[in-house]
Amino acid sequence: MEGHTRWVLSVAFSPDGKRIISGSIDPTVRIWDAQSGTLARTLNHPGWVRSVACSSDGKRVVSGCHDRAVRVWDVETGSLVLGPLLGHTGWVYTVKFSPDGKQFLSGSYDSTVRVWDADTGHAIRTFCGESSIRSAMFSPDSKQIVSGDESYMVTVWDMQSGDSITLQGHQGTVFSVGFSPDGERIVSGGSGGQIIVWDAKFGKALGRLEGHTDIVTSVAFSPDGKWIVSGSQDNTVRIWEADRLDAMPDVE
């Protein structure tokens, strides 16, 4: 699919698989027909678009931008529904809707994860990390958030209490995190080609996936939880069996 004129930093499918959303430094969000590859809509932004995500009903897209703002768009009309939502004091690196569609989050260079009401755009909660947040995601039940940051940490936040646990084992920036579909595991990818799989409840490292030779920029579980897919700056995308992990002697 051709149309962007500069790097594409984020892509996402709509839940029904009919659309693809892409965000670029050109700086636009583009909505494509997944079957034909034709461009359906272009959403202009004032700065680089770092992250895009689609709501669970497929009707809205959230975007995070270099202007430190978050925006929500109507997929069919291309109109701006919410925003620009202000509060972050640094670039917005990551955005995600909650599975129940009631909230969305944004993670920023300002070391915070902010949670917003999806109907009103009001800020609900702010979680403060140790350094720039590069990736964040809701758990399947929308009760937790996992984040990865530049202080080598994976952090799991409780939405209600605000309590957190930190998962230590990475030796560089954590660029991508994700929950398994059942919410029992977390996968994280980062510098040095590291991919680690964790027990989400106890914060214990279950093992690692070895093979990438450069920064892992994106990781995700398959919908059935049996596979993990990863993308890296070593110019490869790899698919792994989620239960076949290498040991982690360096993490207790």
pLDDT in tens, 67-110: 999 999 999 999 999 999 999 999 999 999 999 999 999 999 99
pTM of the full structure: 0.94
252 has a pLDDT exceeding 50: no
The residue whose two tokens read 């239960």 is: 243
The residue whose two tokens read 């080598």 is: 152
Distances (CA, A) of 139 to 69, 97, 205: 24, 11, 18
Q: What is the pLDDT of residue 248?
A: 76
B/e letters for 91-109, b = 16+ CB within 10 Å, e = fewer, are bbbbbbbbbeeebbbbbbb
Domains and CATH numbers, the chain: 1-128 (2.130.10.10), 139-252 (2.130.10.10)
Q: How far apart are CA 71 and CA 193, in angstroms?
A: 32
Q: What is the pLDDT of residue 60?
A: 98
Q: Check residue 93 and report its DSSP letter.
A: E
What integer best gives the mean pLDDT of the chain? 96
Model confidence at 46, in pLDDT bands (50, 70, 90)?
very high
Question: pLDDT tens, 135-176?
Answer: 999 999 999 999 999 999 999 999 999 999 999 999 999 999
Q: What's CA 203's distance to the chain center, in Å? A: 19
